[in-house]
Structure 1
Amino acid sequence: MTFPKYPEYKDPGVEWLGAVPAHWKVRKIAHGFSRIGSGTTPPSNEQKWYEGGSIPWVTTSELRESLILETKKSITDEALSEFTSLQVHPPGSLAIAMYGATIGRLGVFGVSATTNQACCVLSEGKTISSRFAFYWLLAFKNIIISLYATGGGQPNINQEIIASLRLPAPSLADQAHISTFLDHETARIDALVEEQQRLIDLLKEKRQAVISHAVTKGLDPDVPMKDSGVEWLGEVPAHWMVGPLRWYATIQGGVAKGKSYDVGTLTIDLPYLRVANVQDGYVDLSSVNTVTVAVSEVDRYRLQSGDVLMNEGGDNDKLGRGAVWEGEIADCLHQNHVFAIRPNDHLLPHWLSMFTGSSSARAYFYLYSKQSTNLASVSSSNVMSCPLPLPPREEQRQILEFLGRETARIDNLMAEGEKVISFLIERRSALISSAVTGKIDVRGWQPPVGSSVANEARQTEVV
């Protein structure tokens, strides 16, 4: 899809914007809206401000670059009367997050609503429509934050900064047309992204299923089977062994960071692996820290090639994930929240790593984990009690070779899907930027007949 340029351009007087169509007007946002305001947070320990309230109250966590139709909390009429900084903004108002991690997030009100003090709200557009401003701020969010935000770890902007931004825009009618074009095109691209993500999710499920079947049932569909004696494991090939992991491996804990030593103790600084280094099936060595340990303790914590690293805890989906250490770094230790499992001659390290990634093993670790809010941990004794289906070493090798080929094929397909998503996201951003700065002229564009955007466009009022 290609679009023409406008016949003539001019310098808008804003260096980071570049040239804009000559007939567009450059206005401060303050001059484009009748109202620019914010809100406040009534004390949460007084329920009279919230209980039974019917007035939506928007916080920055609810700004997700979309239409806001409902909020987690509502305030009462009494709160609205008590706190003069609370204002009711009409549908179509545009909210911008001004603080911290959510800075720059946007949301358009689908209902009349109030906000907390971290939101700046633009309402009742005079010469700038909130829909056009939404796309313009979305296009230049990162630039605005980098140029105008103050504060270090928690950057922030304020109403004055937002109000002073100079925004080039055409007539309200053309703004509405550009916004309708972007509504249609971004929805189309978002649908393509969702489709790709669904395919990737299906491939992840397929990958998991291939691994789980291979490490519990083998590759021969005609092999005699037996009851494993473990309910969640089901049947396994009759010639396989099934026993607790401690039959086939030992486990060691790691070094605690920050441990103090007596004066005179000989110490050394060595690299060590943290929870963040142990990913699902591989070790991430992009950032490896060092730790101070006593020289006498080095042998106890030193990793050996072939050790299987397993995280003690984390998010439920990361619980028990394992990776094989191939000795990439000499004299490397491991943190006390990372188990090092050392297989004996009966067990290939990669077999254990593959098994820990199976749905059967994940179910076991979840069942025997200690749960807290969004986190889980598993003890070393429970890890070593995990029932392990184990074929002969040569069969382990054959199954691992098969899984290597199959997972690589699936991983390549997922990587291609991720590339498509990245391209679509870049295309989306470029299209928005080009349209709201007039780099492309979309005035001749018409929504496809019968599309929801076409129907909405006929009913749209400029806000």
Structure 2
Amino acid sequence: MRIMGQTISVRRHKKYQEYKDSGVGWLGQIPAHWELRRLRHLALINPSPTVARTLSTLSPSLDVSFIPMDAVGEWGGLNLELTKPLEDALVSGYTYFCNGDVLVAKITPCFENGKGALAVDLVNGIGFGSTELHVIRPGSQLHPAFLTYLTFSKPFRVLGQLEMKGAAGQQRVPEDFIKDFVVPLPPLSEQQAIAAFLDRETAKIDALVAKKERLIELLQEKRNALISQAVTKGLDLNVPMKDSGVDWLGEVPAHWDIVPLFTVARERNVPNIGCQEMNVLSLSYGRIVRRDISENFGLLPESFETYQIVDTGNIVLRLTDLQNDKRSLRVGLVQERGIITSAYVTLEVITRVSPKFLFFLLHAYDVSKVFYNMGAGVRQTLKYDDLKRLPVLIPSQEEQQAIAAFLDRETAKIDALISKIREGIERLKEYRTALISAAVTGKIDVRHEVDPSCYD
């Protein structure tokens, strides 16, 4: 069975006994006893705080939940750590919602990434959040959990993306799309049964995904430890060691030199005057990759003259916003000539050390949070002048080559395993979405796969 490009096996799930043509192209046939209703007739879309009479009776100092966009999970879940006084939330113009409302991110790429959730357990039952959220308040004919899964379905997300309006990078799903969305509507008890089934099955899938993601974390930790061990201790564990004199380096091989960075590498900053180069590169999780500017993903400059030219063997460091985004890898080795944002620091090796070895060494410093410690106090950005006295370990050229070859080989094995696990995660996520889509559009009958008491 295919649902808007997704395939789901129905071997273990029954179909309904009788179907009828919905008259809606993307929906096809629906169970004969289901109805079709536009969402505007089943729910209140983006309710104003002024319609909530109870708000005016509450103390202005009452705490309520505050949900910025980064507190909204992908495919469900809210981080409820933040609160605000009711009065502050009201005067600031944030989006209002309460327990039982369904939240849907309206802006790209949050909408496409599935950001949205059912609001539950809000502080004092009330929440305010990002203005980039649509709020759907289900009426008496619509079960909140069923509606939530409907907003997670493939048709809702694909059709919503097609209706987006606005400039590139700032496109939003319009309110009219939400209002006019055609809801395949089963009886309320059946909605509850479908939601209960999906709660159970998606919980199983999410648990598998979490296990695989944890395995990736462990493999990445192993990868980082492998690199750090090789570039700071060497491959021969029996060689004499000496105190490096640097707390975070500890002991290093006695025959290695320790020199400041500026003696082996200089800053390179070659502006792309006249747009000589148009091979746009990007630093993505520790790798320098080509960027397809036709995809309009992220912000682009008015002119690529503001970018810098980089060459094979250069090392690029992203040393901005050091107090944030600590999980991203900040060091990359350039594999081809191109251009990259001038916000990054680019190093060019001048003597004694190979680019590959220096890259692995700086990567080890990065994952050990060395750069964060250099940005003391409120400083969030480092420049080359802040780095130039960074201690660099210098084995012999022969040993550098051996270490680089060893790490290329061993990290490739780990990367291949991580890639395979990620493919498995993507398949699970695709199955999750397909299962939700099949259940909420009536392509499978799950009523008897849950405890009948849950939908009496």
> Could you tell me which amino acid in structure 2 is paired with residue 277 of structure 1?
S
Paired residues of 1:50 and 1:73 also in contact (CA < 8 A)? no
In the TM superposition, what are the counterparts of 1:438-453 in structure 2 within 5 Å?
438-446=442-450
> Could you tell me which amino acid in structure 1 is paired with residue 414 of structure 2?
I
Paired residues of 1:150 and 1:156 also in contact (CA < 8 A)? yes
> Could you tell me which amino acid in structure 2 is paired with residue 155 of structure 1?
R
Distance apart, 1:30 and its partner CA: 4.0
Larger Rg: 1
252 and 429 in structure 1: CA distance in 2 versus 1, 3 angstrom threshold: same
* Further displaced range: 416-425 or 332-341: 332-341
Does 2:47 correspond to 1:38? yes
Paired residues of 1:225 and 1:238 also in contact (CA < 8 A)? yes
Coordinate RMSD, CA, aligned? 4.0
Paired residues of 2:164 and 2:171 also in contact (CA < 8 A)? no
> Could you tell me which amino acid in structure 2 is paired with residue 322 of structure 1?
V
Cα separation, 1, equivalents of 2:64 and 2:275: 59
Cα separation, 2, equivalents of 1:371 and 1:435: 52
In the TM superposition, what are the counterparts of 1:305-344 in structure 2 within 5 Å?
305-315=312-322, 317=326, 321-326=330-335, 328-329=336-337, 336-344=342-350
* Further displaced range: 395-404 or 180-189: 395-404
Cα separation, 1, equivalents of 2:313 and 2:152: 49
Paired residues of 1:253 and 1:338 also in contact (CA < 8 A)? no
Distance apart, 1:439 and its partner CA: 1.1
Cα separation, 2, equivalents of 1:109 and 1:431: 22
Pairing partner for 1:285 from 273, 282, 290: 290
Q: Secondary structure at the match of 1:284?
A: strand
Does 2:174 correspond to 1:157? yes
Paired residues of 2:224 and 2:367 also in contact (CA < 8 A)? no
> Could you tell me which amino acid in structure 1 is paired with residue 12 of structure 2?
T
Specify the alignment match of 2:7 in structure 1: none
Specify the alignment match of 2:371 in structure 1: 365
Cα separation, 2, equivalents of 1:77 and 1:282: 46
Runs of 5+ consecutive residues of structure 2 not aligned to the other structure = 1-10, 52-56, 294-300
Specify the alignment match of 2:62 in structure 1: 53
Distance apart, 1:312 and its partner CA: 4.5
In the TM superposition, what are the counterparts of 1:122-161 in structure 2 within 5 Å?
122-126=137-141, 128-139=142-153, 140-152=155-167, 153-158=170-175, 161=177
Q: Secondary structure at the match of 1:215?
A: helix
39 and 70 in structure 1: CA distance in 2 versus 1, 3 angstrom threshold: farther
Specify the alignment match of 1:18 in structure 2: 28
Does 2:242 correspond to 1:235? no
> Could you tell me which amino acid in structure 1 is paired with residue 363 of structure 2?
G
Specify the alignment match of 1:113 in structure 2: 126
Does 2:362 correspond to 1:356? yes
Percent identity between the aligned chains? 30
* Further displaced range: 359-368 or 400-409: 359-368
Q: Secondary structure at the match of 2:275?
A: strand
Distance apart, 1:75 and its partner CA: 5.5
Cα separation, 1, equivalents of 2:186 and 2:417: 44
Superposition TM-score, scaled by structure 2 size: 0.77
Superposition TM-score, scaled by structure 1 size: 0.76
Distance apart, 1:57 and its partner CA: 6.7
Distance apart, 1:394 and its partner CA: 0.7
Distance apart, 1:309 and its partner CA: 3.2
> Could you tell me which amino acid in structure 2 is paired with residue 92 of structure 1?
G
Paired residues of 2:282 and 2:340 also in contact (CA < 8 A)? no
Cα separation, 2, equivalents of 1:229 and 1:390: 15
* Further displaced range: 278-287 or 352-361: 278-287
Distance apart, 1:435 and its partner CA: 0.6
Runs of 5+ consecutive residues of structure 1 not aligned to the other structure = 43-47, 258-266, 294-300, 447-453
